Structure 1
Amino acid sequence: MGKDAYKAAGVDIFAGEQAAAKIADMTAQQKDPHVLSGIGGFGALYELPTQLKQPVLVSGTDGVGTKLLIGIQAQESGTVGEDLVAMCVNDILAQGALPLYFLDYLGIHHVDPDEIAKIVGGVQRGCQKGQLALIGGETAEMPDMYAKGHYDLAGFAVGLADKADLFSPDKVQAGDVLIGLPSSGLHSNGFSLVRQILFKSHDFKLDAVIPELKQPLKTALLTPTRIYTAALKPLLTQKCLSGAAHITGGGLVENLPRSLPETLAAQIDWTAWTVPPIFKWLQSLGELSTQDMLQTFNLGIGMVLIVPAAQVKTVEETLKMAQEAYVTLGKVVPRTKAAVEFVGAATV
């Protein structure tokens, strides 16, 4: 079977080659000296730094979920690649590791080289923000698998840490302070519920300007997930944290306990931060309870740092120097019942 026969079956090899060339051009500008070979080979090669006593590789994999459907509907594919990198890299950071490299997988109905370049361009921007190298990936054209105009996106990141510096619940102690780093909005969680509220229960159009949000709906929904490498890297280098939690699906109430021992709880002050308008708007539209909101969305906090009391001043000064916004959410206390307890009015 030749290339023409394969094209007749729905797979355009020439278009795939053009797309691969565009991706190779994008990644050729990377300056990481540890990348020995990248796009184009059967496998990507990365030489590990050797300055650590007990080097441990930390890996994380994720996708973008049904947020992709919003991008497809809006015909805007330039941001979802950033979401993909963010969801993987933020998990690496929450383990106490610094990201090294990233690989992506794109399954698509039809290969349009320019469209592929937009999608992977977003991945590349995410890698730049995450301070890691995009060293490989795969684009699979499968017209029988995906509907016309549709695609799926997944990837994984690998990071590195010294074994002694990795976060674990047993390093967290009562009295540690919880510092929250703001999210950029919905990030990439809860979109099945968001779509249910906006497009099934209501008939919103993506280009509609929403008064409560002061911007087009598609802009609010497609704002890329924030990547926290710039904020956490100096803190990890200074070894001034005892833990961290990436606030993804499940929100504060399900993600914070993953970083705590069973004997301790996170006590959070509801008055410490203002929940962004998009969450309040969705809650009102969907008639959602506070518990629904807590278990689905980040509510404006994308990463929580667990800081020993003696290191709070250092952390705050480091964040201020980097012009990183933060809020003091509360503290770690002995657990009496729930792993996360709230002080103040428990309303969104």
Structure 2
Amino acid sequence: MFLGQRIDMKYEDSGVNIGKGKRAMEAISRHVKSTWTSDVLSDTGAFGGLYALGDRCQEPVLVSSMDGVGTKIIIARLAERYDTVGQDLVNHCVNDILVQGARPLFFLDYIASGALGTEVVASIVEGISVACKEHGCALIGGETAEMPDVYQGEDFDLAGCIVGVIEKEEIIDGSAITSGDRVIALPSNGCHTNGYSLVRKIVFGELGLGVNDFVDELGCTVADEFLKIHASYLDSFDVIRRGARIKGMAHITGGGIPDNLDRILPVSCDAEIKKGSWPVPKVFDFLQKKGGVSDTEMYHVFNMGLGMMLVVSQEDEQKILSNLAGKMAIHSVGEIVKGNRTVSLV
């Protein structure tokens, strides 16, 4: 030790508060445990989450996905509403594995910030827990990190990992799609979790609005519109699949309809989607007009009112539309034709 050298420096001097981290863990523990079933074999604080697969499937195939909610978290922070982005995160991930027919088993979250706020973390995890319980999905672990030199002040980031399961013979992968099939779609409730950098550029930058400002064209405040929770399609999927064979599904997220629907098409097929065959939420008209955004750009950034697209046979389309008329919002939006794996908006 050098003469006169201080010996009282602490981790907290660098901006990391271990005690606050422990308090955050204590605050979220009850939310986490509220999602557990008897399949969860570990406790909070374990190095790894243990989950018993049991006899759910004869040939189980695990399906995993990881995602975040993008810069929507900035609007959540400005509005000081944090539980909705937690639900966004789970619902987005549930939809991603649903595309292959999988049901969620368990979820893990990652929350990183410049200065860990116990109440903020608790609110985010409460939202995650609410959505997990809605889907029968256990929140079995995660990471909460305080990184003051990576994130500034109250800035934070949020990500999640989901694992689901499906019977091997029931996997939906698009391989059965053929010319003549039809494309049906389930509606979104707005921007979901994509395009928020452009949203903020238009709403805050071009229009100079605040999160609590009321927008006549939308009939609500900025926060109310742009913090709407990302829709989950698990329940709708269950209803549709009971009476039809789903050949392929696409979750419409970043990249919009063209860059998501093409991911499930066989190399010999194109999809032709008929614009105007579904109602486009007014938020997209608002963003396009106020931001001066072209049609092409809008359809490549936003979901434009369609959250999940499904490919079925022409016969099954008729059955689905007839059986679910008046019970579920669902639209016939296009068809599959011979081609080379492209999506056209006509």
With structure 1 as the length reference, what TM-score do the two structures score?
A: 0.91
1: CA distance, partners of 2:19 / 2:165: 37
Q: Verify: 1:41 aligned to 2:52, yes or no.
A: no
> Identity over the aligned pairs, expressed in percent?
39
Amino acid at match of 2:314: A
Distance change in 2, residues 1:286/1:314 (3 Å) = same
Q: Is the 8 A contact 2:243 2:320 kept in 1?
A: no
The 5-angstrom pairing of residues 242-261 of structure 1 reads: 242-261=247-266
Q: Verify: 1:58 aligned to 2:63, yes or no.
A: yes
Q: Which has the larger radius of gyration?
A: 2
Give the aligned partner of residue 190 of structure 1: 195
Amino acid at match of 1:210: V
**Secondary structure of 1:271's aligned partner:** coil
Any unmatched runs of 5+ in structure 2?
1-6
Give the aligned partner of residue 151 of structure 1: 156
Report deviation, 1:315: 3.7
Q: Is the 8 A contact 1:276 1:300 kept in 2?
A: yes
Report deviation, 1:235: 4.1
Moved more, 253-262 or 160-169: 160-169
2: CA distance, partners of 1:110 / 1:117: 14
Any unmatched runs of 5+ in structure 1?
344-348
Give the aligned partner of residue 334 of structure 2: 330
Q: Is the 8 A contact 1:89 1:99 kept in 2?
A: yes
Amino acid at match of 1:90: N
Give RMSD over aligned pairs: 2.2
Give the aligned partner of residue 138 of structure 1: 143
Q: 1:233 aligns with which of 208, 232, 238?
A: 238
Deviations 1:220-273 (A, max 9, x none): 111111111111134456672111000001111111111111211222222321
Give the aligned partner of residue 343 of structure 2: 340
Q: Verify: 1:295 aligned to 2:303, yes or no.
A: no
Q: 2:17 aligns with which of 12, 17, 20?
A: 12
2: CA distance, partners of 1:325 / 1:32: 32
Deviations 1:31-55 (A, max 9, x none): 5332212432111011113242321
Distance change in 2, residues 1:236/1:14 (3 Å) = farther
Q: Is the 8 A contact 2:23 2:118 kept in 1?
A: yes
2: CA distance, partners of 1:179 / 1:3: 65
Distance change in 2, residues 1:232/1:38 (3 Å) = farther
Q: Is the 8 A contact 1:175 1:331 kept in 2?
A: yes
Q: Verify: 1:311 aligned to 2:284, yes or no.
A: no
Amino acid at match of 2:255: G
Deviations 1:251-303 (A, max 9, x none): 11111111111211222222321111100010001111110011000001000
Report deviation, 1:30: 2.6
Q: 1:208 aligns with which of 213, 229, 233?
A: 213
**Secondary structure of 1:272's aligned partner:** coil
Distance change in 2, residues 1:208/1:38 (3 Å) = same
Give the aligned partner of residue 172 of structure 1: 177
The 5-angstrom pairing of residues 96-107 of structure 1 reads: 96-107=101-112
2: CA distance, partners of 1:5 / 1:32: 40
Q: Verify: 1:84 aligned to 2:89, yes or no.
A: yes
1: CA distance, partners of 2:113 / 2:139: 20
Q: 2:278 aligns with which of 246, 249, 273?
A: 273
Q: Is the 8 A contact 1:3 1:13 kept in 2?
A: no
Distance change in 2, residues 1:258/1:317 (3 Å) = same
